[in-house]
Amino acid sequence: MHYLHQVTKAIDYIELHLDEDVSLKDIAVHVGISQWHFARIFKALTNETLKTYIRARRLSAALNMLLNSDERIIEIAIGAGYGSQESFSRAFKKIYQMSPNEIRQVGERNWANEKIRIDEAFLKHINQHMNLKPTLYQQDKLRLVGIKTEFYSSDSDKNNIAEMLPPLWQVFLKRVAEIEHRIVGNMYGVIVQLADDYNKLEYYAAVPVAMVKNLPVGMSVVDIPSSSYAKFAHRGDYKYIDKSVDYIYSNWLLQSPYQHNYGPDIEIYGAQYQPGDAASIIEYAIPINPISTTISPIGPIIPMSGN
């Protein structure tokens, strides 16, 4: 617990000096421990290096400047710690898949992989309730039938996950027996980005089926295309899954050699899911493509059956 406090104190210091040349020595002195020891603690708690975190936070701050100010790109680049607009643009595009100028042309939108600021509650969660390194696997094409709703995610000021998703599952579980040719085993939550509203998501509570026949009233078919996925384990209460998703998008994805391929995210409810049990596990998986031919340091992609 003491270490969590020291790391969050360091994060506060970094936030106040994002536009300065902050060194590991400065931060270590501020929190009162050795440079080597602090670097090891930070990496152990966050699964990233201090240098990587500061660089990503600076690029995140630069993203906000690009979207919400008229400041010249070269000035934003210098403020983010880059010696030239070219080096800034290369680093920026590696994370956001667009150049700074292209981002400005697109304008305001929900950048789901923007680097969030770490706090103590976030650190506690990722170290106690999830695995920081995913299983990479190939998901076969999967056909599901379920009930859908629309909701605003946790990064929206209209966030209504708690109001919309648990009641949806309650209704769906009462009706799941109506689905013909369902495959017994895992159940799925499917999250799809709506094309016309970047803040809003479509969610399906669903089960896999061998075929679709006599679709129950009020239910829909949703297809999961074949894709590579990165799957993380979330332990404990579902109400904290937002913190796991925050980690996936704002920590792991930003420093991985992969990018989201804009397919559906999936929640997997298998045998290890036990509602109300602190040891319960929900698996959350995102569809990925490699950014380049870089070999993943995380491990090989494992073939996995459709359900």
CATH number for the domain that contains residue 213: 3.20.80.10
Overall domain count for the chain: 2
pLDDT at 79 over 90: no
Q: Is 212 in the same domain as 254? A: yes
Return the pLDDT at 1. 41
Q: Of the ranges 66-75, 113-122, 235-244, which one carries the lowest mean pLDDT score? A: 113-122
**Of 102, 128, 154, the domain-final residue:** 128
Report d(CA 188, CA 146) in Å as an integer: 9
User: What does the mean pLDDT of the chain come to?
Assistant: 83
Is the domain of 241 the same as that of 153?
A: yes
Which segments of 95-179 are extended strands (E)? 135-139, 142-152
Please tell me the pTM assigned to this model.
0.67
CB 266 within 8 A of CB 285: yes
Which residues lie across from 251 on neighbouring strands? none
Residue 252 sits in which domain range? 135-304
Cβ atoms of 205 and 146 within 8 Å: the answer is yes
* Side chain identity at residue 192, one-letter code: V
Confidence grade of residue 297 (pLDDT, cut at 50, 70, 90):
very low
The C-alpha torsion from 78 through 84 and 88 to 90, rounded to 10°, is 180
Q: Are residues 162 and 88 in the same domain?
A: no
Looking at the fold, whether 116 and 233 belong to one and the same domain comes out as: no
pLDDT value of position 304: 43
| Cβ count near 156 (within 10 Å) | 16
Among residues 99, 128, 157, the one where a domain terminates is: 128
CATH of the domain at 7: 1.10.10.60
Strands, E assignment, 220-280: 220-224, 227-235, 258-260, 265-269
Same domain, 217 and 259: yes
Same domain, residue pair 120 and 193:
no
Residues 19, 107, single domain; the answer is yes
Taking CA atoms, 98 is separated from 7, 247, 296, 301, in Å, by 32, 22, 22, 27
Which DSSP helix (H) or strand (E) runs through 174?
helix 161-175
Distance CA(46)–CA(64), nearest Å, equals 23
Whether 272 contacts 281, CB under 8 Å: yes
305: pLDDT confidence band, cut at 50, 70 and 90?
very low
pLDDT of residue 295: 37
Question: Taking the alpha carbons of 143, 146, 147, 151 in that order, is the dihedral positive or negative?
Answer: negative
| pLDDT for the residue 169 | 92
Q: Is the pLDDT of residue 198 over 90?
A: no
Q: Which residue has the higher pLDDT, 210 or 94?
A: 210
Q: Are residues 73 and 51 in the same domain?
A: yes
- Three-state SS at 232: strand
**Domain shared by 23 and 165, yes or no:** no
CA–CA distance, 263 with 224 (Å, rounded to integer): 8
Q: How far apart are CA 300 and CA 298, in angstroms?
A: 7
For residues 44 and 52, the answer to whether their CB atoms sit within 8 Å is no
| Higher-scoring residue by pLDDT: 32, 267 | 267
What is the Cα Rg of the chain in Å?
21
Q: Are residues 76 and 147 located together in one domain of the fold?
A: no
Task: Retrieve residue 278's tokens.
Answer: 């602190």
Quick one: 104 and 140 in the same domain? no
**Alpha carbons 93 and 286: distance in angstroms, whole number:** 21
Same domain, 185 and 282: yes
Say whether pLDDT at 113 is over 60.
no
Q: What is the mean pLDDT of residues 39-68?
A: 83
Domain boundary among 128, 162, 197: 128
